[in-house]
Each structure stands twice: as C-alpha cells, then as structure tokens.
Amino acid sequence: MSLLAIIGGSGFSDFPALEIEASRRVETPFGETSAPVAIGRLDGAEILFLPRHGAGHRLPPHRINYRANLWALRALGADRVVGLAAVGGIGARFAPLALAVPHDLIDYTYGREHSIYDGEQDALDHVDMTSPYCEELRGVLIRACAESGHPAIEDGVYAATQGPRLETTAEIARLERDGCDLVGMTGMPEAGIARELGLCYASLAFVVNWAAGKGEGAITMAEIESHLRTCVGHVRKVLGIVATAG
C-alpha cells in the first residue's frame, strides 16, 4: 500500500493535526536528518512527517541535509512525498494566499549537496528531469485543493534560490525574464534527490508574499506571518484529503 510522507516547511515545523504514534531517527549514508521522522495518522490515514528546517525552524535552506531527509523517508517505506513550500509570488496569478502545484522549476542554488551520486555511494546515474514533479501526485494535489474549497493554480515554474535572505528587485526581474512564477529556497535539491531515489514527489506551494518589486513597499515578516497563518489552515485541509485518498 502506498505510504505518503509530508516534508514540512515554513509554518510546518510541527504538525499538531498529526496523531503521532512513533518517532524514528534513521541512520543514513549521508548523516543526520533535519529531525526524527514522525509516524502517525492524519484523519485516520498513516503518514510520515519530517520538518525540513528541524525542530523550531533552526536550519536555513542551504544547511538542510536534503539527501538524508529523503533517504530516511524512503527507508521507512514512503513512496510518495509532498514537499510543502511557502513562496513569494512573481507572476500576476500568484497573489498572496494562493495555493499552487508547480509543474517545473529552475535551480539557482549553489554549494549544496545536490545528488546521492557523490562517488562514494552507488554507481553514477543521470536521472531524467524533463518533468521534475510526479504528475500522478500533482493530480492528486490539484483535486484535493478543489475538494477542500481552496482551488490551486495548476501549474507554475518554481525558482529555487539560495537564501536565507530574500531576493532583490533586480533578481526577481531576472527570474521573471527566465519564466519563473514562484520563488522559494528549498525546492532544490529536494526534487532532484527524490527523483534519484525513485520517489513520487510533488510540491504544494502557498504564497505568503509578493516577491521583491511586485508588491507595494518592502516585504515584512509581519505580512509573511499573517499570510502564513491563513495558508496553514488551507493546506491542512488539503493534506487531510490527500492522506485519505490512498
């Protein structure tokens, strides 16, 4: 039976809706995960949950051990992974509070461990990333958003930037010229490593601010946190539907 794992980002350092039955530390070839993996039930369905930034949101995007996180989820039996992503909106459709299920991405990060094929583990492989997200799981997320009463934008190009600082106006203008609709800091190498591990991976993004130069004035944490609180409630409903969809 398919086992769903959820990787929580901003706003999801913990997951009160999850009835935790066990917590596991998993030894991986790549070191420690961001936190122990929680095994529990969401609306009666068994799932795994791992906070990407660790307990208390302590790990910045460039310090996350993406390889260990995804390896551990697979080792515990997950075959589907939803990566939650609080993002900035670039395209006009992607206003704050929008939900989106991106279909493609561009990686602008650097200095991160981007692959399980580091010359020390398995033989080298070059995985296909023509479509970086699992289309089956994207469809499940899109249908769940509609059923929840918070329909998602069904496409979008996610720009993965280095962080932890936010981007400049000129950087966002560049991303827009490149065709990006959303900007976040954790979408890669997470999606690429999931593909290397044979996991069905998709992102559920929720917009918590206009990207630099797209709104009025400077971006404030108060604005982000306000939108984040609203989005967390919407995403919680969607995840319950996804978990029980089997």
Measured in degrees and rounded to the nearest 5, phi and psi for residue 148 equal -75, -15
Rounded to whole angstroms, how far apart are CA atoms 52 and 65? 9
| Binding site members for phosphate | 10, 52-53, 186
Rounded to whole angstroms, how far apart are CA atoms 191 and 85? 12
| Binding site members | 10, 52-53, 185-186, 209-211
CA neighbor of 3 nearest in space, from 33, 32, 37, 29: 37
213-235 burial, b if ≥16 CB within 10 A, otherwise e? ebeeeebeeebbeebbeebbebb
Q: Which long-range contacts (CB under 8 A, 24 or more apart) does 145-152 make?
A: 145/99, 145/101, 145/204, 145/238, 147/241, 148/234, 148/237, 148/238, 148/241, 149/237, 150/99, 150/234, 150/237, 150/238, 151/99, 152/98, 152/99, 152/100, 152/101, 152/204
Rounded to whole angstroms, how far apart are CA atoms 95 and 91? 8
| Number of residues that make up the chain | 246
| Binding site members for substrate | 185, 209-211
